[in-house]
Structure 1
């Protein structure tokens, strides 16, 4: 039986590790260890693993609002194929959209419900929930609960999303009071 014996020289090594871990920049707070796990996943193979990882990173971005997840998931030439009016093309488009949406719904949560991968395509279903207490356009929130689904189809090249086609549940706009 081996008994652990305290060695003073080990303590200084542990102390150095502890101090260094406190100095890690905040940007490193968003890591792949923080990625959401899909409730359902289909088509996971060694050939689709990098594509699924990109989809999980992008889902983590929508769930947390941390731009570093979007930057890790999206190619520099990212194209939104269903670009909403007023949103810029490229990775900055979703980042600005997330910032605006989080200003309206500060407690926004996006759960990754389903992932289906085939070749260079990944389909995801996201479930968004939160409380509309901020402002969206000209509409001021009154504490309404929001609960809606979104479906995205990604094209992934070299582990980065290059193209996205997406549909959001129209109930979101009803819950925000933007349409009847």
Structure 2
């Protein structure tokens, strides 16, 4: 078997599975890898399903995307570890922002790792803790580093711009 390096940069790429309620639009996809095309495509498909889950809250997409031994390496306090963690987070977040949407701005595939930079948008019309939304626009960024093995996400390291999110919700004050 020959090893080869594949570099793909696609602007405005739309990756989707048929009959899904929402698609994940990927503004920029870069693939740098020597893995076989089938393995590369499986990593992209798992990643795409994960962000379609964040778009829809559909736990069938989450189950298809992540491995049973999934580990969140940057687990926030109160969130369960394992596959139930993202489901828990999605339910809580959707209670606050029912129209939550995610757009992947950059996706870089390199071997078993995928780095995803995304933008979350919606309106704070629900509740977050003791705070009730008043329809405020929500628009913040996040970045994930995920590891994909056998077509499923096994590990996630993530960082979110929580200061922007919490200030938009009126939970945190940011001095100008």
TM-score (normalised: structure 1): 0.79
The superposition leaves residues 82-140 of structure 1 with CA deviations (integer Å, 9 ceiling, x where unpaired) of 00000000111111110111111111111122110000000011111111011011111
C-alpha separation between the residues in 2 aligned to 1:113 and 1:72? 22
C-alpha separation between the residues in 1 aligned to 2:70 and 2:171? 29
- More strand by proportion, 1 or 2? 2
- Report what 1:176 is aligned to: 169
1:32: Cα distance to partner?
A: 2.3
RMSD between superposed Cα atoms in Å: 1.4
Find 1:115's aligned residue among 102, 107, 111. 107
- Report what 2:66 is aligned to: 74
The answer to whether the Cα contact below 8 Å between 1:44 and 1:52 also exists between their aligned partners in 2 is no
* Residues 138-153 of structure 1 mapped to structure 2, 5 A cutoff: 138-153=130-145
In structure 2, the gaps of 5 or more residues are: 1-15
Greater Rg over alpha carbons, structure: 1
Find 1:98's aligned residue among 79, 87, 90. 90
Using the TM superposition, name which of 86-95 and 47-56 deviates more: 47-56
- What is the DSSP-based 3-state SS (H/G/I as helix, E as strand, rest coil) of the residue aligned with 1:151? strand
- What is the DSSP-based 3-state SS (H/G/I as helix, E as strand, rest coil) of the residue aligned with 2:24? coil
1:37: Cα distance to partner?
A: 3.8
Q: Are 1:41 and 2:29 counterparts?
A: yes
The answer to whether the Cα contact below 8 Å between 2:146 and 2:156 also exists between their aligned partners in 1 is yes
The answer to whether the Cα contact below 8 Å between 2:32 and 2:111 also exists between their aligned partners in 1 is no
In structure 1, the gaps of 5 or more residues are: 1-30
TM-score (normalised: structure 2): 0.81
C-alpha separation between the residues in 2 aligned to 1:107 and 1:118? 32
- More helix by proportion, 1 or 2? 1
Q: Are 1:54 and 2:46 counterparts?
A: yes
